[in-house]
Chain A
Amino acid sequence: MNNQSVSAQRDLTMKLPIYLDYSATCPVDPRVAKKMAEQLTMEGNFGNPASRSHLFGWKAEEAVEDARRNLAELVNADPREIVWTSGATESDNLAIKGAAHFYQGKGKHIITSKIEHKAVLDTCRQLEREGFEVTYLNPREDGIVYPEQVQEAMRDDTIVVSLMHVNNEIGVINDIAAIGEICRARKVIFHVDAAQSAGRLPIDLAETKVDLMSFSAHKMYGPKGIGALYVRRKPRVRLEAQMHGGGHERGMRSGTLATHQIVGMGEAARIVKEEMAAESKRIEALRDRFWDQIKDMEEVHVNGSWEQRVPGILNVSFAFVEGESLIMSLKDLAISSGSACTSASLEPSYVLRALGVNDELAHSSLRFSFGRFTTEHEVDTAAAEVRKAVEKLRELSPLWDMYKDGIDLNTIEWAAH
Protein backbone atom coordinates (compact mmCIF):
# COMPACT_ATOMS: atom_id res chain seq x y z
CA MET A 1 0.00 0.00 0.00
CA ASN A 2 1.48 3.38 -0.86
CA ASN A 3 1.33 6.47 1.32
CA GLN A 4 -1.49 8.17 -0.45
CA SER A 5 -3.81 5.22 -0.07
CA VAL A 6 -2.82 4.79 3.58
CA SER A 7 -3.60 8.47 4.22
CA ALA A 8 -6.80 8.39 2.21
CA GLN A 9 -8.06 5.34 4.00
CA ARG A 10 -7.33 6.91 7.34
CA ASP A 11 -8.99 10.17 6.40
CA LEU A 12 -12.39 8.58 5.95
CA THR A 13 -12.35 7.33 9.51
CA MET A 14 -10.37 10.04 11.30
CA LYS A 15 -9.44 8.70 14.69
CA LEU A 16 -9.11 10.94 17.70
CA PRO A 17 -6.84 12.09 19.15
CA ILE A 18 -5.00 13.35 16.08
CA TYR A 19 -1.32 12.50 16.23
CA LEU A 20 0.80 15.63 15.71
CA ASP A 21 3.88 14.59 17.66
CA TYR A 22 6.03 12.96 14.97
CA SER A 23 9.14 14.58 16.41
CA ALA A 24 8.67 12.59 19.60
CA THR A 25 8.24 9.34 17.72
CA CYS A 26 6.67 7.96 14.55
CA PRO A 27 4.43 4.94 14.18
CA VAL A 28 6.21 2.04 12.51
CA ASP A 29 5.41 1.94 8.80
CA PRO A 30 3.33 -1.22 8.12
CA ARG A 31 5.86 -2.28 5.47
CA VAL A 32 8.57 -2.12 8.13
CA ALA A 33 6.50 -4.01 10.69
CA LYS A 34 5.92 -6.80 8.18
CA LYS A 35 9.64 -7.26 7.53
CA MET A 36 10.42 -7.17 11.24
CA ALA A 37 7.88 -9.88 11.98
CA GLU A 38 9.69 -12.16 9.54
CA GLN A 39 12.82 -12.17 11.72
CA LEU A 40 11.42 -13.69 14.87
CA THR A 41 9.94 -17.19 14.85
CA MET A 42 11.20 -20.69 14.08
CA GLU A 43 9.84 -20.29 10.55
CA GLY A 44 11.44 -16.87 10.25
CA ASN A 45 14.98 -15.52 10.17
CA PHE A 46 15.66 -15.82 13.91
CA GLY A 47 19.34 -16.78 13.88
CA ASN A 48 22.21 -15.04 15.63
CA PRO A 49 24.05 -12.97 13.02
CA ALA A 50 27.29 -13.81 14.80
CA SER A 51 26.83 -17.58 14.38
CA ARG A 52 29.33 -18.60 11.73
CA SER A 53 28.73 -22.35 11.71
CA HIS A 54 25.26 -22.73 10.19
CA LEU A 55 22.70 -21.38 7.76
CA PHE A 56 20.60 -19.65 10.47
CA GLY A 57 23.50 -17.41 11.38
CA TRP A 58 24.46 -16.75 7.76
CA LYS A 59 20.94 -15.73 6.84
CA ALA A 60 20.63 -13.43 9.83
CA GLU A 61 23.98 -11.86 9.03
CA GLU A 62 22.86 -11.29 5.46
CA ALA A 63 19.71 -9.50 6.67
CA VAL A 64 21.77 -7.32 9.00
CA GLU A 65 24.20 -6.43 6.21
CA ASP A 66 21.35 -5.59 3.82
CA ALA A 67 19.98 -3.23 6.43
CA ARG A 68 23.39 -1.70 6.97
CA ARG A 69 23.66 -1.05 3.25
CA ASN A 70 20.22 0.56 3.18
CA LEU A 71 21.07 2.92 6.02
CA ALA A 72 24.48 3.71 4.49
CA GLU A 73 22.82 4.53 1.17
CA LEU A 74 20.41 6.94 2.85
CA VAL A 75 23.37 9.11 3.86
CA ASN A 76 25.82 8.14 1.09
CA ALA A 77 28.26 6.37 3.39
CA ASP A 78 30.18 3.09 3.24
CA PRO A 79 28.24 0.30 5.02
CA ARG A 80 31.40 -0.43 7.03
CA GLU A 81 31.00 3.01 8.60
CA ILE A 82 27.69 2.10 10.26
CA VAL A 83 27.67 0.81 13.86
CA TRP A 84 24.34 -0.43 15.27
CA THR A 85 23.33 0.92 18.67
CA SER A 86 20.18 0.96 20.79
CA GLY A 87 19.19 4.44 19.59
CA ALA A 88 20.39 8.00 19.16
CA THR A 89 21.01 8.45 22.88
CA GLU A 90 23.49 5.59 22.88
CA SER A 91 25.00 6.83 19.62
CA ASP A 92 25.54 10.29 21.14
CA ASN A 93 27.13 8.76 24.23
CA LEU A 94 29.39 6.49 22.21
CA ALA A 95 30.40 9.28 19.84
CA ILE A 96 31.17 11.99 22.38
CA LYS A 97 32.56 9.91 25.25
CA GLY A 98 34.26 7.52 22.83
CA ALA A 99 36.04 10.31 20.93
CA ALA A 100 36.78 12.40 24.02
CA HIS A 101 38.37 9.45 25.80
CA PHE A 102 40.33 8.33 22.78
CA TYR A 103 41.70 11.77 21.88
CA GLN A 104 42.14 13.23 25.37
CA GLY A 105 45.91 13.13 24.91
CA LYS A 106 45.50 15.93 22.34
CA GLY A 107 43.33 18.13 24.51
CA LYS A 108 40.32 18.23 26.76
CA HIS A 109 38.07 20.88 25.22
CA ILE A 110 34.67 20.14 23.67
CA ILE A 111 32.30 22.51 21.86
CA THR A 112 28.54 21.99 21.75
CA SER A 113 25.43 24.21 21.99
CA LYS A 114 22.86 25.03 24.62
CA ILE A 115 19.99 23.63 22.56
CA GLU A 116 21.30 20.12 22.02
CA HIS A 117 19.27 17.10 23.03
CA LYS A 118 19.75 16.01 26.63
CA ALA A 119 21.62 12.95 25.38
CA VAL A 120 24.39 15.31 24.26
CA LEU A 121 24.13 17.85 27.08
CA ASP A 122 24.14 15.28 29.87
CA THR A 123 27.01 13.40 28.23
CA CYS A 124 28.98 16.65 28.15
CA ARG A 125 28.15 17.29 31.80
CA GLN A 126 29.51 13.85 32.64
CA LEU A 127 32.73 14.61 30.74
CA GLU A 128 33.04 17.89 32.68
CA ARG A 129 32.92 15.85 35.88
CA GLU A 130 35.79 13.79 34.43
CA GLY A 131 37.86 16.91 33.87
CA PHE A 132 36.98 17.92 30.32
CA GLU A 133 36.07 21.53 29.54
CA VAL A 134 32.93 22.22 27.53
CA THR A 135 31.88 25.40 25.70
CA TYR A 136 28.09 25.64 25.26
CA LEU A 137 27.38 27.92 22.30
CA ASN A 138 24.26 30.05 22.41
CA PRO A 139 22.30 29.93 19.17
CA ARG A 140 21.22 33.23 17.68
CA GLU A 141 17.60 34.35 18.01
CA ASP A 142 16.68 32.34 14.91
CA GLY A 143 17.79 29.13 16.62
CA ILE A 144 20.78 28.60 14.35
CA VAL A 145 24.33 27.97 15.56
CA TYR A 146 26.44 29.77 12.97
CA PRO A 147 29.75 28.44 11.62
CA GLU A 148 31.60 31.58 12.71
CA GLN A 149 30.49 30.95 16.30
CA VAL A 150 32.15 27.55 16.13
CA GLN A 151 35.26 29.10 14.57
CA GLU A 152 35.50 31.64 17.38
CA ALA A 153 35.10 29.03 20.10
CA MET A 154 37.92 26.84 18.75
CA ARG A 155 40.99 26.47 20.98
CA ASP A 156 44.29 24.67 20.52
CA ASP A 157 43.06 21.93 22.85
CA THR A 158 39.63 21.47 21.20
CA ILE A 159 39.14 17.81 20.29
CA VAL A 160 35.40 17.38 19.63
CA VAL A 161 32.58 19.55 18.28
CA SER A 162 29.06 18.12 18.73
CA LEU A 163 26.08 19.88 17.16
CA MET A 164 22.67 18.73 16.05
CA HIS A 165 21.64 18.87 12.41
CA VAL A 166 17.98 19.71 13.12
CA ASN A 167 16.67 20.84 16.48
CA ASN A 168 13.94 18.59 17.84
CA GLU A 169 11.85 21.37 19.39
CA ILE A 170 11.95 24.08 16.75
CA GLY A 171 12.98 22.25 13.56
CA VAL A 172 15.74 24.69 12.64
CA ILE A 173 18.62 23.39 10.50
CA ASN A 174 22.32 23.99 11.21
CA ASP A 175 24.78 24.33 8.32
CA ILE A 176 26.76 21.18 9.07
CA ALA A 177 28.68 21.37 5.79
CA ALA A 178 30.24 24.71 6.69
CA ILE A 179 30.88 23.69 10.30
CA GLY A 180 32.45 20.46 9.03
CA GLU A 181 34.96 22.43 6.96
CA ILE A 182 36.01 24.42 10.02
CA CYS A 183 36.47 21.28 12.10
CA ARG A 184 38.35 19.37 9.41
CA ALA A 185 40.75 22.29 8.85
CA ARG A 186 41.73 22.03 12.53
CA LYS A 187 41.57 18.21 12.66
CA VAL A 188 38.83 18.40 15.28
CA ILE A 189 36.32 15.51 15.41
CA PHE A 190 32.86 16.67 14.32
CA HIS A 191 29.86 14.77 15.69
CA VAL A 192 26.36 15.50 14.42
CA ASP A 193 23.14 14.28 16.02
CA ALA A 194 20.96 13.60 12.98
CA ALA A 195 18.06 11.95 14.81
CA GLN A 196 15.63 14.59 13.50
CA SER A 197 17.16 15.10 10.06
CA ALA A 198 17.97 11.66 8.65
CA GLY A 199 15.15 10.81 6.28
CA ARG A 200 13.87 14.38 6.32
CA LEU A 201 16.78 16.14 4.64
CA PRO A 202 19.24 14.83 2.07
CA ILE A 203 22.54 13.95 3.77
CA ASP A 204 25.70 13.17 1.79
CA LEU A 205 28.52 11.99 4.01
CA ALA A 206 30.86 11.52 1.06
CA GLU A 207 30.72 15.30 0.58
CA THR A 208 30.01 16.64 4.07
CA LYS A 209 32.92 16.60 6.49
CA VAL A 210 31.20 14.97 9.42
CA ASP A 211 33.17 12.36 11.38
CA LEU A 212 30.45 10.87 13.56
CA MET A 213 26.69 10.97 13.04
CA SER A 214 23.90 9.63 15.27
CA PHE A 215 20.71 8.09 13.88
CA SER A 216 17.46 6.89 15.39
CA ALA A 217 15.10 4.41 13.72
CA HIS A 218 11.87 5.51 15.35
CA LYS A 219 12.12 9.03 13.94
CA MET A 220 12.04 7.54 10.44
CA TYR A 221 9.07 5.16 10.86
CA GLY A 222 11.22 2.32 12.16
CA PRO A 223 11.04 0.66 15.58
CA LYS A 224 12.18 2.10 18.91
CA GLY A 225 15.22 0.58 20.57
CA ILE A 226 17.50 0.71 17.54
CA GLY A 227 19.79 3.37 16.14
CA ALA A 228 23.19 3.70 14.59
CA LEU A 229 26.38 5.68 14.70
CA TYR A 230 28.25 6.58 11.54
CA VAL A 231 32.00 6.38 12.17
CA ARG A 232 34.13 7.78 9.33
CA ARG A 233 36.83 5.55 7.83
CA LYS A 234 38.68 8.14 5.73
CA PRO A 235 40.20 9.94 7.53
CA ARG A 236 39.81 7.29 10.16
CA VAL A 237 38.04 8.20 13.37
CA ARG A 238 38.84 6.21 16.49
CA LEU A 239 36.55 5.66 19.46
CA GLU A 240 36.94 4.09 22.85
CA ALA A 241 34.15 1.51 23.20
CA GLN A 242 31.58 2.14 25.93
CA MET A 243 30.08 -1.35 25.82
CA HIS A 244 32.51 -4.24 26.09
CA GLY A 245 31.87 -7.86 25.25
CA GLY A 246 32.02 -10.09 22.20
CA GLY A 247 33.66 -7.55 19.96
CA HIS A 248 30.67 -7.04 17.70
CA GLU A 249 30.52 -4.04 15.38
CA ARG A 250 34.31 -3.86 14.97
CA GLY A 251 34.72 -3.78 18.71
CA MET A 252 32.93 -0.43 18.99
CA ARG A 253 29.67 -1.83 20.35
CA SER A 254 29.45 -5.35 21.70
CA GLY A 255 26.20 -7.21 22.12
CA THR A 256 24.21 -9.68 20.01
CA LEU A 257 22.70 -7.84 17.08
CA ALA A 258 18.92 -7.51 17.26
CA THR A 259 18.12 -8.76 13.77
CA HIS A 260 14.44 -7.77 13.78
CA GLN A 261 15.21 -4.24 14.99
CA ILE A 262 18.07 -3.78 12.55
CA VAL A 263 16.02 -5.09 9.62
CA GLY A 264 13.28 -2.67 10.69
CA MET A 265 15.66 0.27 10.65
CA GLY A 266 17.12 -0.80 7.31
CA GLU A 267 13.70 -1.09 5.71
CA ALA A 268 12.66 2.25 7.20
CA ALA A 269 15.78 3.84 5.71
CA ARG A 270 15.16 2.25 2.31
CA ILE A 271 11.56 3.52 2.19
CA VAL A 272 12.38 7.00 3.42
CA LYS A 273 15.18 7.39 0.86
CA GLU A 274 12.79 6.48 -1.91
CA GLU A 275 9.96 8.71 -0.72
CA MET A 276 11.77 11.62 0.95
CA ALA A 277 11.44 14.15 -1.85
CA ALA A 278 7.71 13.62 -2.34
CA GLU A 279 7.07 13.24 1.39
CA SER A 280 8.83 16.51 2.26
CA LYS A 281 6.75 18.38 -0.27
CA ARG A 282 3.53 16.85 1.02
CA ILE A 283 4.40 17.62 4.65
CA GLU A 284 5.41 21.18 3.80
CA ALA A 285 2.02 21.69 2.14
CA LEU A 286 0.30 20.35 5.26
CA ARG A 287 2.41 22.58 7.51
CA ASP A 288 1.53 25.64 5.40
CA ARG A 289 -2.12 24.67 5.34
CA PHE A 290 -2.11 24.47 9.14
CA TRP A 291 -0.22 27.72 9.65
CA ASP A 292 -2.42 29.59 7.16
CA GLN A 293 -5.39 28.87 9.41
CA ILE A 294 -3.64 30.13 12.56
CA LYS A 295 -1.37 32.97 11.54
CA ASP A 296 -3.95 35.76 11.44
CA MET A 297 -4.57 35.45 15.19
CA GLU A 298 -3.15 38.25 17.31
CA GLU A 299 0.15 37.71 19.12
CA VAL A 300 0.99 34.31 17.66
CA HIS A 301 4.67 33.72 16.87
CA VAL A 302 6.68 30.97 15.20
CA ASN A 303 9.87 30.16 17.11
CA GLY A 304 13.07 29.80 15.11
CA SER A 305 14.02 30.71 11.57
CA TRP A 306 11.20 30.33 9.07
CA GLU A 307 13.54 29.85 6.10
CA GLN A 308 16.07 27.40 7.52
CA ARG A 309 13.84 24.64 8.89
CA VAL A 310 12.46 21.18 8.20
CA PRO A 311 8.79 21.29 7.18
CA GLY A 312 7.60 18.78 9.75
CA ILE A 313 8.12 20.83 12.93
CA LEU A 314 6.31 24.01 13.89
CA ASN A 315 6.83 25.56 17.30
CA VAL A 316 4.34 28.31 18.04
CA SER A 317 3.94 30.72 20.96
CA PHE A 318 0.41 31.85 21.76
CA ALA A 319 0.93 34.89 23.96
CA PHE A 320 -1.21 35.29 27.11
CA VAL A 321 -2.25 31.64 27.34
CA GLU A 322 -0.32 29.02 29.22
CA GLY A 323 0.90 25.95 27.35
CA GLU A 324 -0.15 23.25 29.77
CA SER A 325 -3.75 24.46 29.95
CA LEU A 326 -3.73 24.83 26.18
CA ILE A 327 -2.74 21.19 25.82
CA MET A 328 -5.44 20.28 28.33
CA SER A 329 -8.11 21.90 26.20
CA LEU A 330 -6.69 20.33 23.05
CA LYS A 331 -7.41 16.82 24.23
CA ASP A 332 -8.20 15.68 20.70
CA LEU A 333 -4.69 16.60 19.61
CA ALA A 334 -1.55 14.70 20.55
CA ILE A 335 0.99 17.52 20.76
CA SER A 336 3.69 18.60 23.18
CA SER A 337 4.82 21.74 24.91
CA GLY A 338 8.44 20.96 24.14
CA SER A 339 10.30 17.72 23.79
CA ALA A 340 8.83 14.57 25.30
CA CYS A 341 12.02 14.23 27.28
CA THR A 342 11.36 17.42 29.23
CA SER A 343 7.57 17.66 29.27
CA ALA A 344 7.47 15.90 32.64
CA SER A 345 9.00 19.00 34.21
CA LEU A 346 7.23 22.30 34.77
CA GLU A 347 10.14 24.39 33.57
CA PRO A 348 9.71 26.21 30.28
CA SER A 349 11.75 24.84 27.41
CA TYR A 350 15.52 25.39 27.75
CA VAL A 351 15.67 25.51 23.96
CA LEU A 352 13.30 28.47 23.69
CA ARG A 353 15.04 30.19 26.58
CA ALA A 354 18.38 29.89 24.80
CA LEU A 355 16.79 31.60 21.78
CA GLY A 356 15.98 34.53 24.03
CA VAL A 357 12.24 33.82 24.07
CA ASN A 358 11.02 35.27 27.37
CA ASP A 359 9.76 32.90 30.03
CA GLU A 360 6.17 33.98 29.55
CA LEU A 361 6.15 33.18 25.83
CA ALA A 362 8.13 30.01 26.44
CA HIS A 363 5.35 28.92 28.79
CA SER A 364 2.86 29.60 26.00
CA SER A 365 4.47 27.45 23.32
CA LEU A 366 3.35 24.31 21.57
CA ARG A 367 5.18 22.04 19.16
CA PHE A 368 3.20 20.62 16.26
CA SER A 369 4.98 17.98 14.21
CA PHE A 370 3.53 16.49 11.07
CA GLY A 371 4.42 13.24 9.36
CA ARG A 372 3.78 10.47 6.87
CA PHE A 373 0.25 9.67 7.98
CA THR A 374 -0.99 13.22 8.63
CA THR A 375 -3.96 14.19 6.46
CA GLU A 376 -5.46 17.51 5.33
CA HIS A 377 -8.60 16.74 7.29
CA GLU A 378 -6.54 16.23 10.46
CA VAL A 379 -4.65 19.46 9.93
CA ASP A 380 -7.88 21.42 9.37
CA THR A 381 -9.47 19.93 12.48
CA ALA A 382 -6.34 20.68 14.52
CA ALA A 383 -6.19 24.30 13.38
CA ALA A 384 -9.86 24.86 14.24
CA GLU A 385 -9.37 23.29 17.68
CA VAL A 386 -6.33 25.43 18.36
CA ARG A 387 -8.15 28.64 17.46
CA LYS A 388 -11.08 27.71 19.68
CA ALA A 389 -8.88 26.80 22.65
CA VAL A 390 -6.70 29.90 22.42
CA GLU A 391 -9.74 32.15 22.20
CA LYS A 392 -11.36 30.43 25.18
CA LEU A 393 -8.23 30.67 27.33
CA ARG A 394 -7.65 34.29 26.38
CA GLU A 395 -11.15 35.05 27.65
CA LEU A 396 -9.97 33.53 30.93
CA SER A 397 -6.62 35.30 30.95
CA PRO A 398 -5.98 38.45 33.00
CA LEU A 399 -2.91 39.06 30.85
CA TRP A 400 -5.05 39.18 27.72
CA ASP A 401 -7.29 41.79 29.43
CA MET A 402 -4.25 43.86 30.24
CA TYR A 403 -2.89 43.56 26.72
CA LYS A 404 -6.27 44.66 25.36
CA ASP A 405 -6.26 47.60 27.80
CA GLY A 406 -2.94 48.63 26.32
CA ILE A 407 -0.87 47.79 29.39
CA ASP A 408 2.71 46.72 28.70
CA LEU A 409 3.21 43.63 30.85
CA ASN A 410 6.94 44.34 31.08
CA THR A 411 6.24 47.52 33.06
CA ILE A 412 4.56 45.60 35.86
CA GLU A 413 6.48 44.42 38.87
CA TRP A 414 5.39 40.84 39.30
CA ALA A 415 5.87 39.07 42.57
CA ALA A 416 7.83 36.01 41.51
CA HIS A 417 6.92 32.93 43.45
Chain B
Amino acid sequence: MAYSDKVIDHYEHPRNVGRLDDKADNVGTGMVGAPACGDVMRLQIQVNSDGVIEDAKFKTYGCGSAIASSSLLTEWVKGKTIDEAEQIKNTAIAEELALPPVKIHCSVLAEDAIKAAVRDIREKRGEAVKEDAAE
Protein backbone atom coordinates (compact mmCIF):
# COMPACT_ATOMS: atom_id res chain seq x y z
CA MET B 1 0.00 0.00 0.00
CA ALA B 2 1.38 3.37 -0.93
CA TYR B 3 1.41 5.92 1.87
CA SER B 4 1.43 9.67 1.29
CA ASP B 5 4.59 11.64 2.04
CA LYS B 6 2.89 13.26 5.02
CA VAL B 7 1.97 9.89 6.55
CA ILE B 8 5.53 8.68 6.08
CA ASP B 9 6.93 11.87 7.61
CA HIS B 10 4.74 11.57 10.71
CA TYR B 11 5.44 7.86 10.94
CA GLU B 12 9.19 8.26 10.72
CA HIS B 13 9.33 11.40 12.87
CA PRO B 14 6.31 11.18 15.14
CA ARG B 15 5.64 14.42 17.06
CA ASN B 16 4.87 14.58 20.75
CA VAL B 17 5.34 10.92 21.64
CA GLY B 18 5.07 10.29 25.33
CA ARG B 19 2.79 10.26 28.33
CA LEU B 20 1.53 12.78 30.82
CA ASP B 21 0.47 12.00 34.38
CA ASP B 22 -3.10 10.85 33.91
CA LYS B 23 -3.82 11.40 37.61
CA ALA B 24 -3.00 15.13 37.36
CA ASP B 25 -5.99 17.49 37.57
CA ASN B 26 -4.92 19.42 34.48
CA VAL B 27 -4.43 16.35 32.24
CA GLY B 28 -7.16 14.78 30.13
CA THR B 29 -6.65 11.28 28.74
CA GLY B 30 -8.45 9.66 25.86
CA MET B 31 -7.81 5.99 25.13
CA VAL B 32 -9.74 4.58 22.21
CA GLY B 33 -9.66 1.54 19.97
CA ALA B 34 -8.99 -2.10 20.80
CA PRO B 35 -5.96 -4.36 20.38
CA ALA B 36 -8.11 -6.95 18.64
CA CYS B 37 -9.02 -4.43 15.95
CA GLY B 38 -5.40 -3.57 15.35
CA ASP B 39 -5.31 -0.06 16.76
CA VAL B 40 -5.29 1.65 20.14
CA MET B 41 -4.65 5.36 20.59
CA ARG B 42 -3.84 7.13 23.83
CA LEU B 43 -4.03 10.89 23.54
CA GLN B 44 -3.33 13.16 26.50
CA ILE B 45 -3.77 16.91 26.81
CA GLN B 46 -2.51 19.27 29.48
CA VAL B 47 -4.95 22.16 29.88
CA ASN B 48 -4.43 25.47 31.69
CA SER B 49 -7.04 27.35 33.73
CA ASP B 50 -8.20 29.24 30.61
CA GLY B 51 -9.05 25.99 28.91
CA VAL B 52 -6.10 26.22 26.53
CA ILE B 53 -4.20 23.07 25.63
CA GLU B 54 -0.57 23.70 26.59
CA ASP B 55 0.83 20.31 25.81
CA ALA B 56 -0.28 17.12 24.09
CA LYS B 57 1.25 13.64 23.99
CA PHE B 58 0.28 10.41 22.30
CA LYS B 59 1.16 6.79 21.97
CA THR B 60 -0.45 4.62 19.34
CA TYR B 61 -0.50 0.92 18.58
CA GLY B 62 -1.60 0.62 14.98
CA CYS B 63 -0.74 0.98 11.35
CA GLY B 64 1.25 3.87 9.89
CA SER B 65 -1.90 5.86 9.19
CA ALA B 66 -3.08 5.52 12.77
CA ILE B 67 0.29 6.68 14.09
CA ALA B 68 0.33 9.60 11.65
CA SER B 69 -3.26 10.61 12.47
CA SER B 70 -2.53 10.82 16.19
CA SER B 71 0.83 12.55 15.67
CA LEU B 72 -0.82 15.18 13.47
CA LEU B 73 -3.61 15.62 15.98
CA THR B 74 -1.19 16.48 18.80
CA GLU B 75 0.30 19.20 16.60
CA TRP B 76 -3.12 20.63 15.80
CA VAL B 77 -4.55 20.72 19.32
CA LYS B 78 -1.63 22.48 21.00
CA GLY B 79 -2.57 26.11 21.62
CA LYS B 80 -6.26 25.47 20.94
CA THR B 81 -8.94 25.71 23.60
CA ILE B 82 -10.67 22.48 24.49
CA ASP B 83 -13.82 23.82 22.83
CA GLU B 84 -11.92 24.30 19.59
CA ALA B 85 -10.13 20.97 19.86
CA GLU B 86 -13.44 19.19 20.24
CA GLN B 87 -14.51 20.53 16.87
CA ILE B 88 -11.71 18.83 14.93
CA LYS B 89 -13.24 16.54 12.37
CA ASN B 90 -11.83 13.28 11.09
CA THR B 91 -12.35 14.46 7.52
CA ALA B 92 -9.82 17.25 8.06
CA ILE B 93 -7.23 14.75 9.32
CA ALA B 94 -7.95 12.34 6.45
CA GLU B 95 -7.62 15.16 3.96
CA GLU B 96 -4.39 16.53 5.41
CA LEU B 97 -2.77 13.07 5.36
CA ALA B 98 -4.39 12.00 2.07
CA LEU B 99 -5.60 8.78 3.67
CA PRO B 100 -6.97 6.14 1.30
CA PRO B 101 -10.56 4.92 1.91
CA VAL B 102 -9.45 1.79 3.80
CA LYS B 103 -7.60 4.01 6.29
CA ILE B 104 -10.36 6.53 7.03
CA HIS B 105 -11.10 4.66 10.26
CA CYS B 106 -7.68 5.81 11.56
CA SER B 107 -8.79 9.44 11.34
CA VAL B 108 -12.12 8.55 12.96
CA LEU B 109 -10.20 7.02 15.83
CA ALA B 110 -8.15 10.20 16.21
CA GLU B 111 -11.32 12.28 16.39
CA ASP B 112 -12.68 9.89 19.02
CA ALA B 113 -9.43 10.22 20.97
CA ILE B 114 -9.49 14.01 21.25
CA LYS B 115 -13.18 13.96 22.17
CA ALA B 116 -12.49 11.38 24.88
CA ALA B 117 -9.55 13.42 26.21
CA VAL B 118 -11.63 16.60 26.34
CA ARG B 119 -14.46 14.77 28.09
CA ASP B 120 -11.98 13.45 30.67
CA ILE B 121 -10.64 16.93 31.45
CA ARG B 122 -14.16 18.36 31.63
CA GLU B 123 -15.12 15.68 34.11
CA LYS B 124 -12.06 16.46 36.20
CA ARG B 125 -13.00 20.12 36.16
CA GLY B 126 -16.57 19.34 37.12
CA GLU B 127 -17.95 20.76 33.88
CA ALA B 128 -21.07 19.47 32.22
CA VAL B 129 -20.14 16.79 29.70
CA LYS B 130 -22.02 16.46 26.49
CA GLU B 131 -23.27 12.89 26.45
CA ASP B 132 -22.58 12.39 22.79
CA ALA B 133 -19.07 13.80 22.98
CA ALA B 134 -17.29 10.57 22.30
CA GLU B 135 -19.79 9.00 19.97
Contacts and interface: CB of A to CB of B under 8 A. Distances in A.
Given A346-B102, A397-B60, A398-B31, A359 B36 contact: yes
A409 interface: yes
A320 B63 CA distance: 12
Given A414-B34, A416-B34, A401 B59 contact: yes
B38 A346 contact: yes
A104 interface: no
Contacts of B17: 395-396
Interface residues of A, number: 25
A110 interface: no
Interface residues of B, number: 30
Nearest to B34: A414
A240 interface: no
A322 B61 contact: yes
Interface in A317-333: 320-322, 324-325, 328-329
B64 A397 contact: no
A400 B62 CA distance: 12
B3 interface: yes
Contacts of B62: 322, 325
B41 A398 contact: yes
A211 to B, nearest CB: 41
Contacts of A346: 38, 102
A363 B35 contact: yes
A348 interface: yes
A334 interface: no
A417 interface: yes
A396 B105 contact: no
Given A322-B66, A328-B63, A398-B40, 13 more contacts: A321-B61, A322-B39, A324-B63, A346-B38, A359-B35, A363-B35, A396-B59, A398-B59, A398-B60, A398-B61, A400-B61, A415-B33, A417-B108
21 contacts: A322-B66, A324-B64, A328-B3, A328-B11, A328-B64, A363-B35, A363-B36, A396-B14, A396-B17, A396-B60, A396-B61, A397-B61, A398-B31, A398-B60, A400-B61, A401-B19, A401-B59, A409-B35, A414-B35, A414-B40, A417-B109
Interface of A: 320-322, 324-325, 328-329, 346, 348, 358-360, 363, 395-401, 409, 414-417
Interface of B: 3, 11, 14, 17, 19, 31-42, 59-64, 66-67, 102, 105, 108-109, 112
